[in-house]
Amino acid sequence: MAGDRVELWRSLEEVIAAGAPGRLQALLESLPPSEVVLAVSRLTDADRARLVEMMAPEAAAGLMEGMPEPQAVDLMERLSPERSAAIIEHLPSDEQADLLGELERADADAILSEMSPEQARSARTLSRYPDDVAGGLMVKEYLTFPASATVAEVLDDLRTHAGRYSTYQVQYAYVTREGRLHGVLRLRDLFFQPRDRCIEGILKKDPLTVLDTANLDHLREIFEHNLFFGVPVVDRRGRLVGVVTRAAVETARADRSENDYLKTQGIVGGEELRSMPLLLRSRRRLAWLSVNVALNILAASVIAFYQDTLAAVIALAVFLPIISDMSGCSGNQAVAVSMRELSLGLVRPTEVLRTWLKELWVGVMNGLALGGLVASAAWLWKGDWMLGLVVGAAMAINTVIAVSIGGTVPLILRRMKMDPALASGPILTTVTDMCGFFLVLSLAAACMPWLAPG
In whole angstroms, the minimum distance from the beta carbon of 20 to a copy of itself comes to 23
Binding segment for a copy of itself among 72-80, 120-128, 236-244, 296-304 (CB under 8 A)?
Answer: 296-304
In whole angstroms, the minimum distance from the beta carbon of 450 to a copy of itself comes to 20
According to CB under 8 A, which one of 208, 290, 446, 450 is a site residue for a copy of itself? 290
Residue 369 binding a copy of itself, by CB under 8 A: yes
According to CB under 8 A, which one of 136, 341, 431, 451 is a site residue for a copy of itself? 341
Q: Taking Cα atoms as reference points, which of 188, 183, 185 lies closest to residue 207? A: 183
Cα end-to-end distance, the chain, whole Å: 57
In whole angstroms, the minimum distance from the beta carbon of 105 to a copy of itself comes to 28
In whole angstroms, the minimum distance from the beta carbon of 103 to a copy of itself comes to 21
In terms of CB distance, is 217 or 235 closer to a copy of itself? 217
Beta strands in 166-307 (DSSP E): 172-177, 180-186, 204-205, 210-211, 230-234, 240-245
The Cα–Cα gap between 242 and 261 comes to 30
Find all residues with CB under 8 Å of 432, minimum gap 6, and list them. Answer: 324, 327, 328, 331, 398, 401, 402, 405
Residue 427 binding a copy of itself, by CB under 8 A: no
Please check whether residue 220 is in contact with residue 169, taking contact to mean a CB–CB distance below 8 angstroms: no
Binding segment for a copy of itself among 11-19, 108-116, 124-132, 306-314 (CB under 8 A)?
Answer: 306-314
Q: Taking Cα atoms as reference points, which of 423, 267, 410 lies closest to residue 337? A: 410
According to CB under 8 A, which one of 20, 147, 377, 422 is a site residue for a copy of itself? 377
In terms of CB distance, is 126 or 310 closer to a copy of itself? 310
Residue 342 binding a copy of itself, by CB under 8 A: no
In terms of CB distance, is 127 or 309 closer to a copy of itself? 309
Residue 38 binding a copy of itself, by CB under 8 A: yes
Please check whether residue 328 is in contact with residue 437, taking contact to mean a CB–CB distance below 8 angstroms: no
Find all residues with CB under 8 Å of 251, minimum gap 6, and list them. Answer: none
In whole angstroms, the minimum distance from the beta carbon of 357 to a copy of itself comes to 10
Residue 277 binding a copy of itself, by CB under 8 A: no
The interface with a copy of itself within residues 95-154 (CB under 8 A) comprises: none
Find all residues with CB under 8 Å of 261, minimum gap 6, and list them. Answer: 421
Binding segment for a copy of itself among 45-53, 63-71, 77-85, 444-452 (CB under 8 A)?
Answer: 63-71
In whole angstroms, the minimum distance from the beta carbon of 88 to a copy of itself comes to 16
Q: How far is CA 42 from CA 328, 330, 447, in A?
A: 37, 40, 61
Pairing mode of beta strands 210-211, 144-146: unpaired
Q: Taking Cα atoms as reference points, which of 258, 240, 256 lies closest to residue 138? A: 240
* DSSP designation for 92: -
In whole angstroms, the minimum distance from the beta carbon of 160 to a copy of itself comes to 11
Pairing mode of beta strands 144-146, 204-205: unpaired
Q: Environment class of residue 106 by beta-carbon count within 10 Å: exposed (0-12), middle (13-18) or buried (19+)?
A: exposed
Residue 245 binding a copy of itself, by CB under 8 A: yes
In terms of CB distance, is 337 or 431 closer to a copy of itself? 337
Binding segment for a copy of itself among 113-121, 176-184, 262-270, 444-452 (CB under 8 A)?
Answer: 262-270
Residue 361 binding a copy of itself, by CB under 8 A: yes
Binding segment for a copy of itself among 16-24, 35-43, 76-84, 104-112 (CB under 8 A)?
Answer: 35-43
In terms of CB distance, is 180 or 283 closer to a copy of itself? 283
The interface with a copy of itself within residues 214-243 (CB under 8 A) comprises: 217, 221-225, 227, 229
In whole angstroms, the minimum distance from the beta carbon of 85 to a copy of itself comes to 21
Residue 77 binding a copy of itself, by CB under 8 A: no
The Cα–Cα gap between 302 and 36 comes to 54
In terms of CB distance, is 112 or 400 closer to a copy of itself? 400
Single-letter code of the amino acid located at 224: E
Strand partners, 19: none
Residue 373 binding a copy of itself, by CB under 8 A: yes
In terms of CB distance, is 81 or 410 closer to a copy of itself? 410
Please check whether residue 145 is in contact with residue 173, taking contact to mean a CB–CB distance below 8 angstroms: yes
Q: How far is CA 215 from CA 130, 210, 222, 356, 423, in A?
A: 9, 10, 11, 28, 22
Binding segment for a copy of itself among 8-16, 98-106, 125-133, 318-326 (CB under 8 A)?
Answer: 318-326
